[in-house]
Structure 1
């Protein structure tokens, strides 16, 4: 009997050790790479999968720095995709509304595609009504970035690099850009941008991911949103800033307390809602000091998924997917109107033409730096 007990004890110990070892191995963050398809010029695009110790995954392609998928858990621990996009490269090569993309050189709009810098006028591509939008006809969302994998302890990531040549899309200066995506074990995806130039230029980098915390089951109108902001940047009918700020108090733009997106999005008697077709505006963040600050929280009440957003930028463009029209389908979902929302951290739109706004000028010898973090949880 004693021998049997000793044997059982040894076997139990071995089983527990094996389970412990297995669980430990499962808790390691990983990054993997696979082919995502070929560009028209024959270059190969890759798709990287970042997986953290909790099982959350983020897929990023070096074509356009696009986030193609984020698998995040709900309150039951069940994972689902929470961003709009496609399963293959081909749809991204066609006209699409910047799903998941890195945006540059200038995120948002520049009026009439013109700005003056140090006494010289520069002309940009007109690609959004009378204005230039998101870097022009071939912005950073449509180029192949040099990718380097990162795998350090509790963080996995992807470093992307690109050199934008002098006068590319009309912007001056040879611009060297580095963007680092990292996924940690707190279910937070961080995006860190740095850039340098050899001539004075303007720069406003951002990411254009469309979130849908339902797991792509329905539109985002029942999402609850909170934004740390007392004012927005009003726009005219072509979505160019009027030059003045507007207090959110008493308007459909007041998200200082968690509020359903649907609460004010259709109040077209408000001129700004009418101009944007809903929400497509820049919120000025209520910042007391520089650095990474929490600026927004979004929640889907049914799934319990929560997205907390942090940034070093002075503002965020909250866009409610007003121009989606059901013509695009991807990942078992039809992208109808207001099927996703964006939180594009940024400087203000049209800043190069609005001297009263925070400057977006970058000079030789300076380093552009910006960080945004999106943290997922559920309850």
Structure 2
């Protein structure tokens, strides 16, 4: 055993309504960082990190019990798939054949449909210092073609890096776009707002949304210069969220500059009062910034917390939203014989004193 490794432990998190057991895995590193994951939805349930005074808080929104995650309408901490984000009008075409997927977001599909990866019990095991989770999505599930086998691994290091690796293979051509949907508040999951958080996204382009529907991309890829989407320099969120877009905060994809599949720093989130910092690295082409606007409204969370509008931020590394319906966006179709791969690292730290 490598003594520098952070080895996960396993216990029971409880039972689903159908009697199946949900396993929980806990990582604790040498710096007082603790991460917990369950195999229901591959959910990250806890991220406990010290502040500048050494006081530890959970900075990850979630629920107290299996029952909360069994419903999990906001996909708190979950792996979303087969296709994260939106598929407009719940349909797409591959090789001339049209497919209709479950509409669970008005007239659209989001995060894979009603019975998405978020709501599946994955098989799970410990392999060295990683937790490995696997789910085989049958052909036709939620309307998607092909049997898709997906493997996700989690690893915590003593450098305070939470590493997430994804791979997938398919039996038929199908869209694949995966992410983890953790909601962060660096002041603590139960803190009521993001006002004192400072956000930086190192992207010079973004994908604007339609005037008629702020959740659906217009198909354009635009320069951020001179817009409210220019976050290349740090911006205090309390000064920005009420302005964009239309007072609902950010629900936008930012394009990783010069993305080539290598690991890149795409986003940095600071909270000066606590001294906490989150850096996001990814091999992906984009990051969806979601600041919990009108879809989070008085949600009962863990430890008695009630989650409200603008109380958290998601930085979801992924391909562009609605790519299957946008000819100008990068391809998200996985074909038999190919392998989908993606890596993301959340690094937790402190601001320099």
Provide TM-score, normalisation by structure 1.
0.88
Counterpart of 2:204 in 1: which secondary structure? strand
Q: What's the counterpart of residue 355 of structure 1?
A: 327
Report what 2:234 is aligned to: 258
Q: Does 1:79 align with 2:56?
A: yes
Equivalent of 2:285 in 296, 305, 314: 314
What SS class does the counterpart of residue 25 from structure 2 fall into?
strand
Tell me the distance in 1 between the aligned counterparts of 2:20 and 2:55: 37
Q: Does 2:106 align with 1:133?
A: no
Contact kept, 8 Å, 1:252 with 1:263, in 2: the verdict is no
In structure 1, what is the equivalent of residue 125 of structure 2? 148
Q: Is 1:282 matched with 2:253?
A: yes
Name the residue aligned to 2:29: 52
5+ residue gaps, structure 1, are 1-23
Counterpart position of 1:235: 209
1:337 aligns with 2:309: yes
8 A contact 2:249–2:310 mirrored in 1: no
CA contact (8 A) 2:171 2:336 kept: yes
| Higher share in helix | 1
Instruction: Using structure 2 for the length normalisation, give the TM-score.
Output: 0.94
Per the alignment, residue 302 of structure 1 pairs with 273
User: For residues 195 and 96 of structure 1, what CA distance do their matches in structure 2 show?
Assistant: 24
* 8 Å CA contact 1:190, 1:371 repeated in 2: yes
Other-structure match for 1:219? 193
Partner SS, residue 161 of structure 1: strand
For 1:180 and 1:310, locate their aligned partners in 2 and report how far apart those are by CA, in whole Å: 16
Q: Is the 8 A contact 2:47 2:58 kept in 1?
A: yes
2-side partners of 1:343 and 1:88: how far apart? 24
The 8 Å contact of residues 5 and 157 in structure 2, kept in 1 or not, is answered as no
Show CA shifts across 1:315-348 (max 9, x none): 0100001121123232242111111100001111
2:161 counterpart of 1:188: yes
What residue in structure 1 maps to residue 87 of structure 2? 110
Deviations 1:265-293 (A, max 9, x none): 2125xxxx02x811001011112543110
**Is this contact kept in 2: 1:28–1:53, CA < 8 A?**
no
User: Which runs of no fewer than 5 residues in structure 2 stay unpaired?
Assistant: none
Indicate whether 1:91 and 2:68 are aligned: yes
Give the C-alpha shift of residue 28 in structure 1.
Answer: 6.7
Q: Equivalent residue for 1:377?
A: 349
State which structure, 1 or 2, has the greater radius of gyration over its C-alpha atoms: 1
Q: In 2, Cα distance between the equivalents of 1:342 and 1:28?
A: 28
Q: Which residue, out of 173, 190, 194, partners 1:200?
A: 173
The answer (yes or no) to whether the contact 1:243–1:354 under 8 Å persists in 2 is yes
